[in-house]
Amino acid sequence: METNQYMEMFLDESREHLQSLNDGLLSLENDPEDLSVLNEIFRNAHTLKGMSATMGYTKTAELTHDMENLLDMLRKEQLKVSSEIIDVIFKCVDSLQEMVENIGNGESEDLVDVSDLVRMVNAIAKGESVQQAGNEASGGAPAAAKPAAAAGMPEGCELNDTDMLVIKEAKSSGLIPYWVHVEIADTCLLKSARSYMVMNVLDELGDVIKSIPPAQDLEQEKFDHSFDVCLVTDADAKKVEDGVVAISEISGVKVTEINLEEAPKEAPAPAAASKAAAPAAAPAAKPAAKASANNAKHDKKAHVAGQSVRVDIEKLDTLMNLVGELVTNKVRLEQIGMTHRLTELTETLEQMDRVTTDLQSVVMKVRMVPVSQVFNRFPRMVRDLAKELNKDINLTIEGEDTELDRTVIDEIGDPLMHLLRNSLDHGVEHPDEREAKGKPRTGEVGLIARHEGNNVVIMVTDDGSGINADKIRNKAVEKGMISRDEADALPDADAVRLIFLPGFSTAEQITDVSGRGVGMDVVRSKIESLGGHVDVETKIDEGSVFKIKLPLTLAIIQAMLVKVQDEMYAIPLGSIDSTINITPDDIKTVQNKEVIVIRGQIIPITRLNEVLSVPKGKESTDEDDIFVVVVHVGDHKIGIVVDNLIGQQEIVIKTLGKLLSGLKMLAGATILGDGHVAMILDVSALV
């Protein structure tokens, strides 16, 4: 196993822990008395510290350790949770995030200067106020001197100040720190395997603080025939020694107790923990934290056992296309079996159907990821921006489990950020202004995702001042985008949509947090490049809703096949409420529109042959049954009149390409089992 495997694992898990820290701190700020949230924050910091230390990123580990000490004092109620302290911890998280990203870019963690932040955190931990700590940090107080090395350390083995602090805490908790010197037989051919086995044994006995050489060097056999491990444990030294000696090709073990005040004395040895073979959790300094550290280590083992693989998105596209062809041919074979009544073929196809269904399910799931991967970054952004704007804002997130294609997920982050920043800045009013309007002082901003048929809809909502259509008209005329006559003729809904024109802005001046309209052309172009659509609905003093509709670029879905004259169409099954037969007498006219009544509900109908301009065939008589497919988009329903219902079938969605991409009411096409092409209806366009 190579170091870069662990590097990817370290980066991925570090980002997960940093995101969890952000989420936890936001929850703690809302409920400072919630001890369970504080414990979860502490566990994330503790695990991140251990991973960083094991990978040799000392500066990251030291900052996390200082932050962990502060969190521990909050847990023990030696300090009271305050917004000022949470701000400082947020700064620590931001610095850690920057350091992790530097590491991921192949740069040094030392590029981030955290000396002032460390002094501030340590000063707060000593009981100073945040203001005093900030003044002391900005005054450039000297950093704490590095503790002296423990007397009698093995040659070439040194402990940094973080290691020293961990050892002191471990000793105060009744654990014993040791150096374990391991000699591997000269005849051993797989030194890395033996070192891995040693680490596993030590892992069962205690917690490893560090290894010399580092874990990655042990894995790549970049050492002679001996290595050293520093660990803390509650086991006796004899047990540690016996455990290591029991491994074959281990020629010698020496266990020495570490004493930070006197020369170390030899003793039977204690135990080690975290795996050197992977970035594991660092030592648990207190009994309260030990269980969580062990849990982190077991989780890490599971992660190593099921390693993730990074695959180029083009390969997934090719795989999806191949699975699509497989499904198409499977349907063709089913038709052949039914036509020629080939029993053996039909039985074989039943088994093939199960396999292809499982295969296509797996392939689609590989590409689909929850929108929470994008949504999770916004609570922190909203919190910081609200403080900057002196506004009280509550962010509500719904539907974060809604899944989208990976390629779309990677692209929608920036458009959503633009929309949220505009809602916060020029949508939601200041608390005093809201109060004067009779609104709650706290503004509500929503981020909502849901499926609508074969589309995913993401909405950014706010209960702010809304968008003034007259202001938009005047600004458009002022910028020469439209004439005054054109502006006056525009309905309010269309006037508001002018904000999506390139270069349009209602802001009086350019700021970091731009006015509503700034960047909206960027939002529209990005969404349209993904084959989607963005629209806005607004009411003065009630708020605005920005609605992004994104199509499924390529998927295999269940659909109802219908016929209009000689043409075949597919309606996604997820959009269908029911199918019914009616007679011409069941159709009524309300305000010059045809409707039907189903269970007391009035549902408008649309005749598909008229909407799609399908050439007429035989004329139907009044006695003929009329087939209606009732579909829905959100709360709206409509009945689609068709000539015949063919049945339910699995179909592969194919995009129409750039030439036909502007066609309304068609979301794509599919190839049927007999080789014919059927168009897939865009139900939302019909509704």
User: In this structure, are residues 128 and 85 in contact, taking their beta carbons and an 8 Å threshold?
Assistant: no
Q: What one-character DSSP code corresponds to residue 155?
A: T
CA nearest neighbour of 165 among 125, 198, 205, 194:
125
Catalytic, 294? Answer no
How many Å apart are CA 557 and CA 609, to the nearest integer?
Answer: 24
Q: Which tokens go with 196?
A: 């891995």
Q: Which tokens go with 218?
A: 């042990």
Catalytic, 298? Answer no
How many helical (H) and strand (E) elements, i.e. helices and strands, does the chain have? 23, 22
How many Å apart are CA 518 and CA 506, to the nearest integer?
Answer: 7
Catalytic residue among 422, 454, 455, 650: 422
Place of tokens 């499926």: 451
User: In this structure, are residues 151 and 262 in contact, taking their beta carbons and an 8 Å threshold?
Assistant: yes
Strand pairing report for 393-398 and 443-452: parallel
CA nearest neighbour of 383 among 87, 42, 1, 605:
87
How many Å apart are CA 418 and CA 517, to the nearest integer?
Answer: 9
Catalytic, 636? Answer no
Cβ count within 10 A of residue 300:
24
Catalytic residue among 62, 68, 109, 334: 68
| Residues 352, 358, 361, 364, CA torsion sign | negative
How many Å apart are CA 545 and CA 548, to the nearest integer?
Answer: 10
HSE-CB of 384 using CA atoms within 13 angstroms: 14
How many Å apart are CA 336 and CA 77, to the nearest integer?
Answer: 74
| Residues 668, 672, 675, 676, CA torsion sign | negative
CA nearest neighbour of 63 among 160, 206, 208, 176:
160
Residue 516 DSSP SS3: coil
HSE-CB of 409 using CA atoms within 13 angstroms: 19
Q: Which tokens go with 469?
A: 């259509």
Place of tokens 């594991």: 280
How many Å apart are CA 58 and CA 46, to the nearest integer?
Answer: 14
Question: Residue 395 belongs to what H/E stretch?
Answer: strand 393-398
Catalytic residue among 13, 40, 44, 46: 46
Known catalytic residues are 46, 68, 422
